[in-house]
Amino acid sequence: MAKKKGAGTIVIKVALWYMFILGAFAGYTNWLPQIRGDAPEAAEAINLDEVTPDQLSTMGEKIIFGSNDPLGVLAKGEGPIGKGQCPLCHRFFLEQKADRCPNLLALPEMEPPLLKISEEARSHERVKGRYEEFKKLHANGEKNSGIVPHATTGGEYLIESEYCPNCFVVVGFGLKGTNDTVSPMPIINKPPIELADTEIVAVVSFLQLRDGDESKWTAKDSWESYFGKELAAPAEGEGEEEEEKPKGPPVALGSMTVDEIVKEMTCFACHKIPGVAIAKTGMIGPLLIEKTNAPNRIKSPEYKKAVKEGKAHATTPREYVIESIMDPGAFIVPGFADDMLKDFRHKFTVSGLDVMVDYLLNQDVASAVAEGMDRLPNEKEGSILPPPEASLGEVKSGDLS
Ligand code: HEC
Ligand code: HEC
């Protein structure tokens, strides 16, 4: 009986917590998700011989933002994020706050102190100087893509950036602790984002067209010179899957599985989560093993400081995880930046949040290790994987001294 009473108290506490979070930060009207029943848009059929840079760019815009009116979507307070996921990390408009990655602003929007050069011209600069070091580093092929860095023009550099982010890592934007040799950007033609070649060409066309200089609309030619072959039209059905179901703003509901929520809410682009097939590569945020992390976070001096300052309020692991999702700025995990999206409180229903939080609170070091998943180099807790046999042997032999 005592147990039952305890559970009741917890339920009330949790309910109060939700009311606090949702009420304080969003307001009920904003929070209640509105599902639009838009008719599905047909995938654009393209004939590669006749397609104009303008048409490609329009396609690219849709892939990047999920809309051909990204500023309109932004004005409604929603994140304009399409299947390419780029705006999760990159800033395309001054109106957008994200700045965790190199900005991809259009030239007319640039303002000091931002560099006043076009996307194309900047990319052209990239393939000089420091690029040589990456050529040497990956002389036998970069390990995830097999590509040897070989871009010679700005257009080729933009193409290469999508297929092999590690082929050149912008100074200051590499994974912390890797001396700017490892990029946290996902490989765009591989799962989970997995754009088709033509879609990548469309995305690059969009980036180039925004700069306004017609002589630089090279995406398709750049793709062909970079890969040394003709760009093939997408196979039947390729890259169209996303368009088939009606799309409103994404919402996490209690009836969804964890995998569905992680996909819809784009957590996978930034986090690794044990047991979630789509979330194996994220490198912007911590490994989500909250059974291990959450209790330690609350006890940490950094968290206590945030509580003192009136920013953070969690007293249990469950509250910590809810707070992390609903109010990510309350506490910034040491080693990371305040890079998590801020609008999840508009996108989760209470039961959807329960599904996500329950799952994360069941993941620990053991569940990560079982899948060979490690913490990132910038997580202060350090690696959780046992060192490989070989290097253990080396250290033991003592011939390093
Ligand atoms: C999860 C975050 C993330 C996503 C999603 C992402 N990127 Fe990136 N991107 C980065 C980071 C971090 C860098 C800087 C490190 C590097 O050079 O690879 C970068 C670098 C780049 C660069 C090189 C910029 C420069 O200044 O040289 C380009 C171009 C680029 N991204 C385009 C894209 C496009 C197009 C998409 C969507 C199809 C995309 N990115 C999706 C994180 C991301
Ligand atoms: C654009 C990248 C990005 C996306 C998308 C994102 N996160 Fe995060 N997340 C971060 C970063 C960076 C941190 C660490 C900084 C901080 O504490 O806010 C973080 C921190 C967290 C933490 C705290 C982890 C810990 O161990 O203390 C949780 C929990 C979390 N995220 C859950 C989620 C969930 C669930 C989703 C999807 C609904 C999600 N995140 C989507 C970037 C992201």
Which one-letter DSSP state was computed for residue 157? H
The set of protein residues with a Cβ atom below 6 angstroms from ligand 1 is: 84-86, 88-90, 101-102, 126, 158, 161-162, 165, 168-170, 173, 183-186, 188, 203, 269-270, 284
Q: Whose CA is nearest to atom 30 of ligand 1?
A: 161
Q: Whose CA is nearest to atom 13 of ligand 2?
A: 285
Residues 235, 261 within the same domain: no
Looking at 243, 265, 282, which one is the last position of a domain? 243
Residue 221's contacts (CB-CB under 8 Å, 6 or more residues apart) are 155
Residues 79, 216 within the same domain: yes
Q: Best of 324, 353, 362, 376 to mutate for ligand 2, by most ligand atoms within 8 A of CB? A: 324
Residues 24, 61 within the same domain: no
Residues 128, 234 within the same domain: yes
112 belongs to a structural domain:
yes
Ligand nearest to the CA of 281: 1
Q: Whose CA is nearest to atom 21 of ligand 2?
A: 324
Q: What domain range includes position 16?
A: 2-32+250-370
140 belongs to a structural domain:
yes
* Distance from the alpha carbon of residue 345 to the mean position of ligand 2, in angstroms: 13
Q: What pLDDT is attached to residue 178?
A: 87
400 belongs to a structural domain:
no
Looking at 243, 267, 297, which one is the last position of a domain? 243
DSSP 324-378: HHH-GGG-PPTT--S-S-S-GGGTB-HHHHHHHHHHHTT--HHHHHHTT----TT
Q: Whose CA is nearest to atom 39 of ligand 2?
A: 267
Residues 181, 298 within the same domain: no
* Distance from the alpha carbon of residue 343 to the mean position of ligand 1, in angstroms: 21
Q: Best of 101, 117, 147 to mutate for ligand 1, by most ligand atoms within 8 A of CB? A: 101
Looking at 221, 243, 265, which one is the last position of a domain? 243
380 belongs to a structural domain:
no
Residues 23, 70 within the same domain: no
361 belongs to a structural domain:
yes
User: Of ligand 1's atoms, which has the minimum distance to the CA of residue 180?
Assistant: 15
Tokens linked to 335: 């080693």
Q: Determine contact, residues 365/292, Cβ cutoff 8 Å.
A: yes
Q: What pLDDT is attached to residue 237?
A: 56
Residues 300, 173 within the same domain: no
37 belongs to a structural domain:
no
- Would you give per-residue pLDDT tens digits along the chain (401 residues)? 444 444 555 544 545 444 444 444 333 333 333 333 333 344 455 677 788 888 999 999 999 999 999 888 888 877 788 999 998 888 888 777 656 677 777 655 555 444 445 667 777 777 778 899 999 999 999 999 999 999 998 899 999 999 999 999 988 888 888 889 999 999 999 998 999 999 999 999 998 888 777 777 899 999 999 999 999 887 665 555 444 445 667 889 999 999 999 999 999 999 999 999 999 989 999 999 999 999 999 999 999 999 999 999 999 999 999 999 999 999 999 988 888 888 899 899 999 999 999 999 999 999 999 999 999 988 999 999 987 765 444 444 434 33
User: Of ligand 2's atoms, which has the minimum distance to the CA of residue 333?
Assistant: 17
Residues 239, 179 within the same domain: yes
Q: Best of 86, 156, 267, 339 to mutate for ligand 1, by most ligand atoms within 8 A of CB? A: 86
Number of independent structural domains in the chain:
2
HSE (CB half, 13 Å, CA atoms) of 67?
Answer: 17
Residues 64, 98 within the same domain: yes
* Distance from the alpha carbon of residue 358 to the mean position of ligand 2, in angstroms: 15
* Distance from the alpha carbon of residue 159 to the mean position of ligand 1, in angstroms: 11
Q: Best of 56, 185, 206, 376 to mutate for ligand 1, by most ligand atoms within 8 A of CB? A: 185
Amino acid making up residue 223: W
390 belongs to a structural domain:
no
Q: Determine contact, residues 376/383, Cβ cutoff 8 Å.
A: no
291 belongs to a structural domain:
yes
Q: Whose CA is nearest to atom 8 of ligand 2?
A: 340
Q: What pLDDT is attached to residue 37?
A: 34
* Distance from the alpha carbon of residue 335 to the mean position of ligand 2, in angstroms: 13
Output Rg (C-alpha) for the chain, integer angstroms. 23
Q: Which of 210, 162, 201 is nearest to 59 (CA)?
A: 201
Residues 76, 146 within the same domain: yes
Q: Whose CA is nearest to atom 32 of ligand 2?
A: 325
Residues 170, 313 within the same domain: no
Residues 65, 191 within the same domain: yes
Q: Whose CA is nearest to atom 29 of ligand 1?
A: 158
Q: Best of 63, 90, 107, 209 to mutate for ligand 1, by most ligand atoms within 8 A of CB? A: 90
Q: What pLDDT is attached to residue 176?
A: 82
Q: What pLDDT is attached to residue 36?
A: 35
Q: Which of 34, 43, 47, 81 is nearest to 61 (CA)?
A: 81
The set of protein residues with a Cβ atom below 6 angstroms from ligand 2 is: 88, 265-267, 269-271, 284-286, 288, 290, 293, 297, 321, 324-325, 328, 331-333, 336, 338-341, 344, 356, 360
Q: What pLDDT is attached to residue 100?
A: 65
HSE (CB half, 13 Å, CA atoms) of 264?
Answer: 20
Q: What pLDDT is attached to residue 372?
A: 93
